[in-house]
Amino acid sequence: MPDGTEELLNILNIERLEVDLFRGLGAGGESFRRIYGGQVIAQALAAAYGTVANRPCHSLHAYFMRPGDPSIPVIYQVDRAHDGGSFTTRRVVAIQHGKQILNMSASFQVAENGWDFQHSMPDVPPPDALTSRAELHRQNAHHIPEKHRADFLRPRPIDYREVEPRDMFDPSPTSDVNHMWFRMKGAEGTTPTMQHCLLAYASDMNLLGSSLRRHGLTWYKPRQMTASLDHAMWFHGPISFEDWHLYTMDAPFSGGGRGFNRGSIYTQDGVLVASVAQEGLLRPLKTKEDV
């Protein structure tokens, strides 16, 4: 699969070392400088799923403590915190160089019936009317130093299309509301567990970018230091990530060197299948004018 699908599925197909001990690849994914945060979350969820039978995850809460080193694997240690009649709880610690880089709690529940309600999906243009990430990268590749251009242009398994993409290199301040369609064609035929892990992986994409929008910043305008600090996710229904989903995000607060971001994930026909919240580091870099 030339688009990187096989590589991503391999990254999330973690290796069991012992009963509650797993190992995941560090290399690959979205970034070569440090391990992409969504990759560690998804691998930690896969490790937790490796100790749970017949109960889908309904929520996870993770804290990032150190950047991941892509040159070595990540070790995941699972603590079987609770096995109840309806709910199962797991705590997962991700370790590199003998230190924690992430810890996460995840809860799993037997299928139950209850009252149903959800907010309606925002009315936005369909994905076919929008420019793909790959095309936006091709249009902007001349801005990227030659030594990094091949990584910038390499095929990616997850296609996303922003409803209101901004100029990557000369952005203007705009609304923090941030809509994006995304999908992974190669997710077709994977297990429900892998579907959850793939959506968890993708849920870190562009979320922290919502905090940048109000301030006229992007990842390619280096006036800030950014990193995910924590990440929470709630699964509301089955996932078929080979189909388009709308990720509608906003950032209601930034301050104190942090930005708070929220997201709702809908199927293309308007079913809310997941909710996300994340706080990220948003620290101004000193410039010559500040010294």
Q: What is 127-291's CATH number?
A: 3.10.129.10
Q: Shortest CA distance to 38 belongs to which of 238, 178, 198? A: 198
Q: Which amino acid is at 122?
A: P
C-alpha to C-alpha distance for 15 and 95, rounded to whole angstroms: 15
Q: What six digits make up the tokens of 271?
A: 């079913």
Is the separation of the CB atoms in 211 and 260 below 8 Å? yes
Is the separation of the CB atoms in 11 and 43 below 8 Å? yes
Architecture of domain 1-112: Roll (3.10)
Coil, strand, or helix at residue 141?
helix
Radius of gyration (C-alpha) of the chain in whole angstroms: 19
Residues paired with 78 in a beta bridge: 92
φ/ψ bin of 54: left (φ > 0), alpha (ψ from -120 to 50), beta (otherwise): left
Task: Identify the residue whose tokens are 């799923």.
Answer: 49
C-alpha to C-alpha distance for 194 and 187, rounded to whole angstroms: 8
> Which residues are annotated as catalytic?
204, 228, 278
C-alpha to C-alpha distance for 71 and 123, rounded to whole angstroms: 43
pLDDT at 287: 60
Q: Which segments in the chain show pLDDT lower than 70?
A: 1-2, 222, 287-291
C-alpha to C-alpha distance for 152 and 55, rounded to whole angstroms: 38
Task: Identify the residue whose tokens are 């990094």.
Answer: 148
pLDDT at 2: 60
Domain assignments of the chain as residue spans, ordered by start: 1-112, 127-291
The reply to whether 1-112 and 127-291 are identical in fold is yes
pLDDT at 136: 87
pTM above 0.75, yes or no: yes
C-alpha to C-alpha distance for 276 and 207, rounded to whole angstroms: 9
pLDDT at 4: 87
